[in-house]
Amino acid sequence: MNQLITVQAAADLIKAGKVLSLAGPESALDKLPAGNWIAGTIPYFMVAEGGVVVQDDRVFATVLSAIGSASVASYGPDELEGIVANAPGNGFAQTIIPAGSSAHQRFSAEAANYPDAFLKPTVGWISGVHLNDIGKVTPKVYDGRTATKYEDRAVVAYVALPEDKLVQVDIVNLFEPDGGDVLHFDTTTFEVSECKVNGETVKFADYLAKRGLDGGKLPLVGDYAGAHVNVSLQKVDAATGKVSLYAPVFPGVDYRFAKPVGDYAGTFRERLATQDTTGAALSCNCILNFVFGELEGKAIGGVHGPITFGEIAYQLLDQTLVTVRVL
């Protein structure tokens, strides 16, 4: 199951002993009984008909116990290495972390360095709120074992697969570097004042304004040994000259800004049409793709799941679509 269902239907699944990963408005998740489930707040989803905004008593449900042997855990900001350490040898750790929390920042900066980080897949997403509520309401995650919500923890559902099954994580990134200026950053940080552009130190906010990039539509694209990892711009503070990011930049990485994408929905459909969807178990897409691609009501190829404030595929990602398949 990967679909929007009523709170009552979700409660019935919980009472039946199913292990669930859920997403929905805080008001809906608050009504669920204790059981073996995890959840994060978000009102945006991709369904068959396209992007939708949910502000009623519906939640998006994935029955993890239908995929493999599943169990629930929770970790504080200082315990996040345990996500990978306690993961099954064959399976994955479905993880939800609230946006803006210290757990979000710690995971973003450190996850790639956890032992076995790229051998035991951590997948999932960053919970958020309605865009109109940013700064007014905090994103939450839920440990369903006690039906308790948190602003600063990671909740995890471990899914151990049978020996004859394996997990595959697919990442769809619409963005490619533009081939222009190379940017470098001196520290691992979510907030940038200065950077080096082609070796010359500049004020980052001034550089963005000069290039017309301060609207945040195009991410930075980092070159990680040939793999492209996006870093999206969150806010430019004109008063302080500081630029806030949705994910951290790292020293020693070559960054370039992305080429523009004209038709998000069409490009997603083209990319997804070339991918095998056999065994699709989980999926999430970025809120920035939803907004800048105007995906509300636009189908992108049968991928269902929450639209999130960040995606997790081994480490934090931005402006991507992540799908987990069990083969």
Identify the band that residue 63 occupies on the pLDDT scale cut at 50, 70 and 90. very high
- Predicted confidence at residue 223, as pLDDT, reads 94
- Predicted confidence at residue 188, as pLDDT, reads 94
Is the predicted pLDDT of residue 274 greater than 80, yes or no?
A: yes
Q: Domain map of the chain by residue range? A: 2-171+265-326, 183-257
Predicted confidence (pLDDT) per residue in 67-103, tens digit: 999 999 999 999 999 999 999 999 999 999 999 999 9
Query: Mean pLDDT across the stretch 257-283?
Result: 89
Is the predicted pLDDT of residue 273 greater than 90, yes or no?
A: no
Identify the band that residue 259 occupies on the pLDDT scale cut at 50, 70 and 90. very high
Distance CA 59, CA 276 (A): 27
What 3-state class would DSSP assign to 20?
A: strand
Is the predicted pLDDT of residue 302 greater than 80, yes or no?
A: no
- Predicted confidence at residue 144, as pLDDT, reads 98
Predicted confidence (pLDDT) per residue in 135-181, tens digit: 999 999 999 999 999 999 999 999 999 999 999 999 999 999 999 99
Label the pairing between strands 69-75 and 20-24. unpaired
- Predicted confidence at residue 251, as pLDDT, reads 96
Predicted confidence (pLDDT) per residue in 111-126, tens digit: 999 999 999 999 999 9
Q: Which residues are CB-neighbours of 58 under 8 A, at least 6 positions away? A: 4, 5, 6, 7, 24, 28
Per the prediction, the chain carries an average pLDDT of 95
> Are residues 248 and 286 in contact, defined by beta-carbon separation less than 8 angstroms?
no
DSSP string, 151-193: SS-EEEEEEEPPTT--EEEEEE----B-S---EE-SS-EEEES
Give 274's DSSP letter: T
Identify the band that residue 3 occupies on the pLDDT scale cut at 50, 70 and 90. very high
Distance CA 93, CA 155 (A): 10
Look up the pTM and report it: 0.95
- Predicted confidence at residue 301, as pLDDT, reads 83
Longest CA–CA span in the chain (Å) reads 61
Predicted confidence (pLDDT) per residue in 101-110, tens digit: 999 999 999 9
Is the predicted pLDDT of residue 214 greater than 80, yes or no?
A: yes
The dihedral through the CA atoms of 195, 200, 204, 208 has a sign that is negative
- Predicted confidence at residue 279, as pLDDT, reads 83
Is the predicted pLDDT of residue 294 greater than 90, yes or no?
A: yes
Backbone angles phi, psi at 133, to 5 degrees: -105, 5
- Predicted confidence at residue 106, as pLDDT, reads 97
Query: Mean pLDDT across the stretch 298-313?
Result: 93
Identify the band that residue 249 occupies on the pLDDT scale cut at 50, 70 and 90. very high
Predicted confidence (pLDDT) per residue in 11-33, tens digit: 999 999 999 999 999 999 999 99
What 3-state class would DSSP assign to 118?
A: coil
Backbone angles phi, psi at 98, to 5 degrees: -75, 135
Most confident of 200-209, 260-269, 275-284: 200-209
Is the predicted pLDDT of residue 260 greater than 80, yes or no?
A: yes
Distance CA 4, CA 18 (A): 16
